Amino acid sequence: MSDFNSLGLAEPVLRAVTEAGYDQPTPIQAQAIPVMLKGGDLMGLAQTGTGKTAAFVLPLIDQLMADGKRPPGRSCRALVLAPTRELAAQIGQSIKTYSEHTPISHAVVFGGVKPGPQVRALARGVDILVATPGRLLDHLGAGKARLDLTTRVVLDEADQMLDLGFIPAIRRILTAVGPDRQTVMFSATMPKQIKKLAEDFLVSPKTVSVTPPSRPVERIDQKVLFVDPVDKAKALVDLMAPEAGKRTIIFTRTKHRADRVAKKLVSYGHKAHAIHGNKSQGQRERALDAFKTGAAPVLVATDIAARGIDVDGVELVVNFELPNVAESYVHRIGRTARAGASGRAVALCAPDERALLAAIEKLMGRSVEPLNDAPPPPKPAKGEDAKSGQHRRRRRPRRKGPRGSGEKQAA
């Protein structure tokens, strides 16, 4: 494998890499950095945890230094778009680290906070602007930002942008950037709409890809506990009793459930916070900081809130509820076993989640070791699809009356 010195990065950038403690580039870095340094468009297939942030930030800093221009007011020389504020903030943090020995400036703009300081940062012009799409459009609409002079654009986690409904916003933003630009896109998966976006906005891109997160599922000790929904809270408390103080992320499907689970754990003496879309930016930042420093090592999160959380040393991931989409399970448990470490994952599986578990096992090509005897799978009610995991409707007792009468109940 190549080392950083052979990639063509300038000395101040290499110095920051050395100080970050990186010995050699990750596979996505080794492939993407030379392409970006040449100025070509790039489609990078890589997930969080592969080192993809440095794969685009390092060459961006290098190129902007080499250009040697200054950013005009309200403008940015390079734009990085991220789907969530957490990811945007983390990219900003990476830029800060890697640009330490350079004059390259950056700013981060996202929603949920007052626009004033962002407007002031933009007014001076910045070398690299990291933004979530909605807030950037606000600034553009208000005439506080301009993109016509921007010559480099990175779209990070494009598939997550799609999930969050940002594609129309992305198209508007890319149209506002002049055509004479380098465009780089990173995505973990390649759904049709992302392919189309790449076709529309990338020019003869080189595609580089790394196998999904160095197959972390192989390194994760995965277990499943079969438990009735009403017993899940109690099961979690028992499960967490010997884990006090260990860095743990617990996933729930809903914000409401995240709050309830965090509260329950706190009542049992755990230092836990919930993090989800209804929390204010300040609350989210505080929860994340406490998680990182270990002051509150338990984080209860929904999938969207957890996106972009990049913390090493997560020992345990608990799926309080299994996700509806099998890929999300792999994303969730990939929060542990990062950077070559091993990790553990436990799923609490209710009878009506058995089909979801089966889909997850099929996706991974391996089974999850049960901690207790699995009850026989529930029989699907008539008209329900056994494979879809849609067993959640409760059967109602037969009702007399206009709607209930005559309806056949499945045995």
Query: Can you give the binding site for ligand AMP, defined by CB under 6 A?
Result: 22, 25-26, 29, 48-54, 310, 312, 339
* Chain residue whose CB lies nearest ligand AMP: 53
Backbone angles phi, psi at 381, to 5 degrees: -70, 155
In the block, tokens 């990173």 appear at 186
Copy the structure tokens of residue 75: 């403008």
In the bound state with ligand AMP, the residue whose beta carbon lies nearer, of 51 and 205, is 51
Closest separation between CB of residue 92 and ligand AMP, Å? 13
Q: What angle do CA 120, 201, 214 make, to 5 degrees?
A: 90
Comparing CB distances to ligand AMP, the nearer of 50 and 252 is 50
Rg (CA), the chain: 23
Integer CA distances (angstroms), 37 to 8, 29, 44, 60, 105, in order:
8, 12, 14, 8, 19
Are the C-beta atoms of 216 and 333 separated by less than 8 Å?
yes
Q: Which is nearer to ligand AMP, 49 or 212 (CB)?
A: 49
Nearest-approach distance from CB 106 to ligand AMP, in angstroms: 16
DSSP 44: E
Q: What pairs with residue 154 in β-bridges?
A: 80, 184
* Residues composing the chain: 411
Rounded least distance, CB 187 to ligand AMP, Å:
13
Comparing CA positions, the residue from 386, 374, 383 lying closest to residue 350 is: 374
Partner residues linked to 81 by β-bridges: 131, 155
Nearest to 242 by CA among 270, 223, 262, 261: 270
Considering the complex, what minimum distance in angstroms separates the CB of residue 35 from ligand AMP? Answer: 17
Shortest distance (Å) from residue 210 CB to ligand AMP: 10
Phi/psi zone of residue 251: left (φ > 0), alpha (ψ -120 to 50 degrees), beta?
beta
Nearer to ligand AMP, 29 or 182 (CB): 29
Instruction: Tell me the closest approach of the beta carbon of residue 54 to ligand AMP, in angstroms.
Output: 4
Nearest to ligand AMP of 155, 225 (CB atom) = 155
Nearer to ligand AMP, 58 or 258 (CB): 58
The dihedral built from the CA positions of residue 34, 38, 39 and 42, taken in this order, carries a sign that is: negative
Q: Give the span between the Cα atoms of 409 and 108, in whole angstroms.
A: 56
CB of 58 to ligand AMP, least distance (A): 9
Which CB, 52 or 331, lies closer to ligand AMP? Answer: 52
Q: Which is nearer to ligand AMP, 26 or 150 (CB)?
A: 26
Q: How far is the CB of 308 from ligand AMP (least distance, A)?
A: 8
Place of tokens 């209930």: 404
